[in-house]
Amino acid sequence: MTEESIGKHILITGGAGYLGSLLCGHLLRLGYMVTAVDDLLYGGESLLAYFSHPSFAFVKANICEPRAIKNTIDSQKPRPAAVIHLAGIIGFPACQAVGRQVAWRYNVEGTQRVFEQALDLGIERFITATTYSNYATSHEDAPANEESALNPQSLYAETMIGVEKYLIAQRDSPCAPLIFRMAHLYGLSPRPRFDLIINQFVWEAYSKRELLIYQRGYSRSFVHVQDAVRGIVLGLRADEDIMRGQILNLGSSSGNLSKAKIVESILKRLPETTVLYKDLTFGGDMRDFHISYQKIRETLGFETVYTIEDGIKEVLNAIRIGIIDNPNDQRYRNARFIVS
């Protein structure tokens, strides 16, 4: 707990989600007041541990509703100092499943509604997360930075670019926007997910003793969900003139990894796993990236703490001891399918 955070009120949309539920707990430990807003599409068990905390509040609401944010504000509490907007249809498979109209409404129009209400309420900061898959393909000798060309290869990325364009146009607004382009998340949170590459691979290797890998030579960028939370908090606490209107890649160069490297790390803990490779091309999300994280290091002093080995170990332990008894359950996935 720090003097800086005591009494400050933070509103988190998507607060019951994979990233949001972990962020809620972290902010409470730092001494913030937290209001989580979520429509509970995947349930709300991830927030149960916080309900007895005197600085925590929950509101069930759909962010697409015209007054969803305004109706959450309790006159007995301080006005939120910031909105951290994490609600939406997250991920390539989930957006494909619901279709363009719904994905655009929840992700782009939903962000606009939340921001406009934050502005009307006099909230001074607005932080959101988009995705590194907004970029065109990039390689190790020329990693993509925040100024690189954008070339969305999925509906999800198209909606995230729509979010970014809207918020950057608001950079001179009294409500200062900050955008984090997230690397691919992994690791445990109060709302586990098993439709994320590393978490999914661990479960499949453990349960099937087999991994079927597509796009074998492709590299992607990864960051532990705990590190993602730390990065968001650094942005929350940064001086306004530093964070206003910024786009920051959130991750680290050590997280630029091929699928072969991830498989190699899993085999160290599950050596009995058979690995099969299959060439397959399919529409959307054909990403092969190396990402630069120099800007977030220089701007916020951000460095990651966790490695993929840490993530593999914790996910495997949670499965082995039965803390997560059925990772196949639909509540642990944002869509009904995922392609490796």
Residuewise pLDDT in 10s, the chain (340 residues): 555 666 699 999 999 999 999 999 999 999 999 999 999 998 999 999 999 999 999 999 999 998 999 998 877 788 999 999 999 999 988 998 899 999 999 999 999 999 999 999 999 999 999 999 899 776 767 899 999 999 888 999 999 999 999 999 999 999 999 999 999 999 999 999 999 999 999 999 999 999 998 866 778 999 999 999 999 999 999 999 999 999 999 999 999 999 889 999 999 999 999 999 887 554 444 567 899 999 999 999 999 999 999 999 999 999 999 999 899 999 899 875 433 3
Helix (H) or strand (E) holding 185: strand 184-186
Amino acid at 222: F
Domain 9-186+222-250 has CATH 3.40.50.720: yes
- The pLDDT, as a whole number, for residue 334 is 87
Query: What is the dihedral sign for C-alpha 112, 118, 124, 126?
Result: negative
Q: Are 37 and 21 in contact (CB under 8 A)?
A: no
pTM: 0.93
Q: What stretch(es) of the chain map to CATH 3.90.25.10?
A: 197-221+254-291+306-332
d(CA 139, CA 5): 40
CATH of domain 197-221+254-291+306-332: 3.90.25.10
Q: What stretch(es) of the chain map to CATH 3.40.50.720?
A: 9-186+222-250
Buried b (16+ CB within 10 A) or exposed e, 312-322: bbbbbebbeee
- The pLDDT, as a whole number, for residue 288 is 74
